[in-house]
Amino acid sequence: METDAAQRPGLGIFWMMFTGLCFVAVTALVKTLGGRVPAAESAFLRYLLGLVFLIPMWPSIRTAKMTPRLWKLFTLRGVVHSVGVAMWFYAMTRIPIAEVTALNYLNPVYVTILAVFFLGEKLALRRIAAIAAALVGALIILRPGFRELDAGHIAMLGTAFVFSISYLLAKIFSSEVNAAVVVGMLSVTVTIGLAPMAFAVWVWPSWGDLGILFGVACFATAGHYTMTLAFAAAPITVTQPITFLQLVWSVLLGALFFGEPADPWVIAGGALILGAVVFITWREAVLKRRVTPAVGEIKL
């Protein structure tokens, strides 16, 4: 399989580029809501409307052998991921698209750090240096002391951290159940987890806003599907660098449609973080183990 994949890097790059466009479309659609629908409610409706995509997965979910341990892990992941999704939607209402995209690159870095404590991973000096470089990249983006930080920045840092916990939980039980069950249970538990947060701030959305949120669900689902195709076509070390295009497209989108001027500090910081992630991914490939997720692999 890997030999095959190594022979189709062009296809893998194509699908990863398409994946990036899907995820940028997600951020653009959420941005167009402009805070008309509260963040927690937007997140809830995105998952509720997205449940339609679980229909093909239902037979696998229904026949899965769920032990009490798995139920606890799925529930814990649902709670954690619900918080992360709500914070991401909140961040989108507060800070530019490019900054959300750049700070999202921290997800794999957090995973690498947490894997030391939860999966017994070892950190060699080169990986520690890469993590340090990624954190410097985050500081370049945020520039504390040189500008006022927004609550959206804090929310996005929290989002990346919470999603890394969600990914590690999935890593723990993914060998016990198939992918359809992992995705399906996440969608169901997050919908339930977001419900009380949404009802606490509920406003009745317009049909147009519901259409936008259904579009978010469609593009998010399509993005995760095409990312799977990219991984099947080429090694992750080939496809991971392509995720930098998400930042480029986010900068262009923000400047052209949302009046968000291109910030060279954000581009530089995002490039530094992604460079660190690519290095960590490459080292894991050399060592023939994979802990670090691809950027965007954690389901939104």
In the predicted structure, residue 169 carries a pLDDT above the cut 60: yes
pLDDT digits (tens, 9 = 90+) for 75-100: 999 999 999 999 999 999 999 999 99
Tokens of 19: 């994946």
Q: What is the mean pLDDT of residues 18-42?
A: 92
What is the Cα 81 distance to its own chain's centre? 11
Percent of the chain with pLDDT over 70: 97
Range with the lowest mean pLDDT among 68-72, 206-210, 264-268?
A: 68-72
Taking the CA of residue 73 as centre, how many other CA atoms within 13 Å lie in the half-sphere pointing to its CB?
A: 19
In the predicted structure, residue 247 carries a pLDDT above the cut 90: yes
First-to-final CA distance of the chain: 28
Q: Which of 69-73, 153-157, 170-174 has the highest mean pLDDT?
A: 153-157
Question: How many other C-beta atoms can be found within 10 angstroms of the C-beta atom of residue 282?
Answer: 17
3-state helix, strand, coil in the chain (%, to 5): 80, 0, 20
Dihedral in degrees, nearest 10, Cα atoms 159, 162, 167, 169: -160
Report the C-alpha gap between 114 and 121 in whole angstroms. Answer: 9
- Looking at residue 228, its pLDDT comes to 82
The SS3 assignment for 144 reads: strand
Dihedral sign for Cα 107, 24, 191, 88, please: positive
Range with the lowest mean pLDDT among 175-179, 201-205, 217-221, 249-253?
A: 175-179
Tokens of 169: 């939980």
- Angle at CA of residue 95, ends 92 and 96, nearest 5°: 90
Tokens of 95: 């800070």
pLDDT digits (tens, 9 = 90+) for 109-159: 999 899 888 878 788 888 899 999 999 999 999 999 888 899 999 999 999
- Looking at residue 183, its pLDDT comes to 84
What is the Cα 105 distance to its own chain's centre? 8
pTM of the model: 0.89
- Looking at residue 7, its pLDDT comes to 56
- Angle at CA of residue 141, ends 255 and 162, nearest 5°: 105
- Looking at residue 231, its pLDDT comes to 80
Q: Which amino acid is at 8?
A: R
In the predicted structure, residue 2 carries a pLDDT above the cut 80: no
- Looking at residue 6, its pLDDT comes to 47
Q: Give φ, ψ of 147 to 5 degrees.
A: -155, 165
In the predicted structure, residue 170 carries a pLDDT above the cut 50: yes
Report the C-alpha gap between 255 and 112 in whole angstroms. Answer: 33
The SS3 assignment for 292 reads: coil
In the predicted structure, residue 298 carries a pLDDT above the cut 60: yes
Q: Kindly report the average pLDDT of the chain as a whole number.
A: 89
pLDDT digits (tens, 9 = 90+) for 202-242: 999 999 999 999 999 999 989 888 988 888 888 877 888 88
| Crossing angle for the helix pair 179-200 and 39-50, to the nearest 10 degrees | 140
Range with the lowest mean pLDDT among 120-129, 162-171, 266-275?
A: 120-129
